[in-house]
Amino acid sequence: MQNPVVCVAGTPLKTLITGRREESHTPDQRFLSSEHCILCYGKLGTSITETVRLVYCSRSAVVSIHAKWINDGNSSSRRQGVCRPRITKEKGRQRLSRLVKQNQRQTMAQLIAQYNAGSSASVSEHTVKRTLLDMGLCSRRPSRMPLLTKHHRQLRLQWGREHRDWTMDEWKRVAWSDESRFLIHHVDGRVRVRHLPDEQLLPSCTAGHTQAGGGGLWWTFSWAALGPAVVVEQTMKAADYLNIIADQLSPYMAFVFPTGNGIFQQDKAPCYKVRIVLEWFEKHTDEFHLMSWPPNSPDLNPMEHIWDVMERQLRAQTSPCPNISTLRDRSLDIWYNLSPVMY
């Protein structure tokens, strides 16, 4: 006499039907729950008592599942259609994307309210969040960068086109400079913006900031060597900058580019554009040339990367800086000990 087929949770369907248990199974085989086993035995004509013995369930559970199958054709006890609809249709996803693009700074509550206002069926916050993530529209903090007007963006594009074909040897001739201030207005971290990964620098996804007063450091570097770092005690004026480029920059450029083929980069700070400063550069064109630079474009300056590395090292120190003077001293120490691979 053939032994009865024992069906318990985890029994493969093929084993239930054939009565043969295989030693190994492929990863995509589906295993049956106790509920499915009860239904299978019912379809095979097995009695309630025998089913209870085979699946190791209570008699009331077997009777309940069997009765639901007989009456409804489905053993599931979950009410159908009670969940809010998912935004699975392409039209719903497109409409949600349009609402985000109209105002990328709106909150989740505002976005849901707008979507449900023009829809016959409301959607839940969980559904909207899941759909937005699936579409790549994650909520992120706005990228912190200076405000750019349309004219600024045109000048940046023009600068990029003029320099896109530069060779590595040409870039090696550039000496980069920057003035880093320690007192700045930070973007409020509570403001968030939802955008695709390649949209972080769009005007609608950035938060403009302005630099505040206070001292800092002015420094320069090139492919060949680090340049001088000068402490600026207060807001730099044209006379202060003129002293720096005459006393610090000129000797550095003569040392690094003795043939006079060097190119010096500076941004569009007001004190850099004063007439006496521009006249000084014109008188020293035989020593080096001044690079054209688009306004409000610190992100194009590799000095930003070096300053980011230095800032990480400053924050990694165990004791915080008690004042600006200590912060400057530590910054100078990190600057003059930077690894050559950084520049």
CATH of the domain at 267: 3.30.420.10
Residues 228 and 125 in one domain: no
Mean pLDDT by 10 residues, the chain (343 residues): 44 44 40 69 81 83 79 52 56 87 87 82 83 84 78 95 96 94 46 76 68 68 94 88 96 96 94 94 95 92 89 78 78 89 78
Q: Which residues contact 25 (CB under 8 A, 6 or more apart)?
A: 12
- Return the pLDDT at 2: 41
- Return the pLDDT at 299: 87
**Which structure tokens are listed for 206?**
């950035």
Residues 51 and 115 in one domain: no
Residues 173 and 298 in one domain: yes
* Count of C-beta atoms within a 10 Å radius of residue 334: 18
- Return the pLDDT at 71: 67
- Return the pLDDT at 209: 52
Residue 70 and residue 332: Cα distance in Å, rounded?
Answer: 82
Residues 248 and 118 in one domain: no
**Which structure tokens are listed for 50?**
């025998």
Residues 107 and 55 in one domain: no
Residues 48 and 179 in one domain: no
Residues 171 and 317 in one domain: yes
CA distances for 309 relative to 86, 144, 209, 302, 339, angstroms:
45, 17, 21, 11, 11
DSSP string, 78-127: SPTT-SPPP--SHHHHHHHHHHHHH-TT--HHHHHHHHHHT-SS---HHH
- Return the pLDDT at 183: 42
Query: How many structural domains compose the chain?
Result: 3
Domain-located, residue 84: no
Domain-located, residue 25: no
- Return the pLDDT at 63: 84
Q: Which domain holds residue 304?
A: 164-184+211-337
